[in-house]
Structure 1
Amino acid sequence: MLFLWNTVIDYMISISSVSHQYGNSPALQFADWQVNDAEQWLLLGQSGSGKTTLLHILTGLLKPSGGKVHINNTDLYQLTSKKLDAFRGQHIGIIFQKPHLIKSLSIAENLMLAQRFAGLPTNQQRIEEVLTSLDMAHKRNAYPQELSQGQLQRVTIARAVINKPTLLIADEPTSSLDDKNAEAVLALLKQQSELNQATLVVATHDKRVKDAFNLTYSLA
């Protein structure tokens, strides 16, 4: 007797037939892609290849012209704007090229604000835990303008992981760094991904990063 089993595979990221078009420009087409929980991926592509567009699509910032995007088994663009904002705040941590911190707030207050934006209660213990893991607890009451560039990068990572996201996305985190600092930032990202059991996607055109990842999604 033959038994047929319907197996549903859960992915952290699943994109299918995704495309996007800006005005009359040729549409950007993205190959289907599935990413498992806690995997660490490199998203590689030159300027103009659609890397930023795909990042914005994955983080819920840009609705694609076509195709399906599932993050943590959630059909991202079937959510209302309010639910999408809440989902992003709770499940996706984003590390931009430059720190986007409020200068009038201390480091701890910036992290508290990230908790509030996600609709979560303030959790001082979590803030202390994250800052300690990044060797920044002694700067909790400092203001962004009082920190070095390296310290600001650590705070940016802290804000991205504060809500224990299941997906951590870094946009060109090493593009303006020398070899030593680039290596240090990559090590921190991978460490925080493992510590928080989060899937990591690092988008870059920096070929120095390639050796740090076994899994690569490349854009032409």
Structure 2
Amino acid sequence: MIEIKDIKHQYNNNQEIVFKDWQIENNQQWLLLGESGSGKTTLLHILTGILKPTQGSVKINSTEIYQLSPKALDRFRGQHVGIVFQRPHLLKSLSITENLQLTQSLAGLEVNTNRIDEVLYSLNILSKKNNKPDQLSQGQLQRASIARAVLNKPTLLIADEPTSSLDDKNAQAVLNLLLEQSQLNHTTLVIATHDQRIKEAFTNTYSLS
């Protein structure tokens, strides 16, 4: 379960934003809706342990993440939170397999090549395991990013605007991949977006005004 409670954040210009409480059950799938400037990115960073809020608590698996030391929080995030960014953020000098091995190591986990192959196979890019990022198409890169996010079987999988720059066909394909991986890995899914095309796929919505 993920829970945020009494969250407020104050920016350097003294502007304060208040977020309503949010409770997410295990294996649920949520849409986080908000226009640019609504605080969506701020909430994402708070939820994933990147930005400590001015006030309030964030619990993941009953752990109050902002009571952890910075080092412990980094490791906790690596083990329990998977993020699909708008851009791949893969190291260009490493192969896809090596990038995924690094993801396991940084989370304090043993390198498990069988798990890596399993995830790449489920995303239909196992044949690209020894390729470097610049040898992949944009669609394959996005699949590799999803692979990295779900590799450590996180409690929470977050995708940040995964469909905003895609046409209808590719947007639906990426959405299907995220939903399939969420179910396959028994992971709670939150997609943050302002893309109205994908609203119908979700019954749970957290909206920012």
Give the TM-score normalised by the residue count of structure 2.
0.99
Give the partner amino acid of 2:62. N
Match of 2:35 in 1: 46
Give the partner amino acid of 2:94. L
1:30 aligns with 2:19: yes
Match of 2:155 in 1: 166
Give the partner amino acid of 1:151. Q
Identity %: 66
- Hey, which bits of structure 1, 4+ residues long, moved more than 4 A? none
Give the partner amino acid of 1:191. E
Q: Aligned equivalents of 1:111 and 1:103: distance in 2?
A: 13
1:59 aligns with 2:42: no
The CA RMSD measured in Å over matched residues stands at 0.6
Q: Aligned equivalents of 1:184 and 1:113: distance in 2?
A: 27
Q: CA deviation at 1:72?
A: 1.4
1:151 aligns with 2:140: yes
Q: How many residues align?
A: 209
Match of 1:70 in 2: 59
SS at match of 1:97: coil
Structure 2: give runs of 5+ residues left out of the alignment.
none
Structure 1: give runs of 5+ residues left out of the alignment.
1-11
Match of 1:197 in 2: 186
Match of 2:108 in 1: 119
1:92 aligns with 2:81: yes
Q: Aligned equivalents of 1:64 and 1:161: distance in 2?
A: 26
Q: CA deviation at 1:26?
A: 2.2
1:17 aligns with 2:6: yes
Give the partner amino acid of 2:25. N
SS at match of 1:197: coil
1:79 aligns with 2:68: yes
Give the TM-score normalised by the residue count of structure 1.
0.94
1:136 aligns with 2:151: no
Match of 1:213 in 2: 202
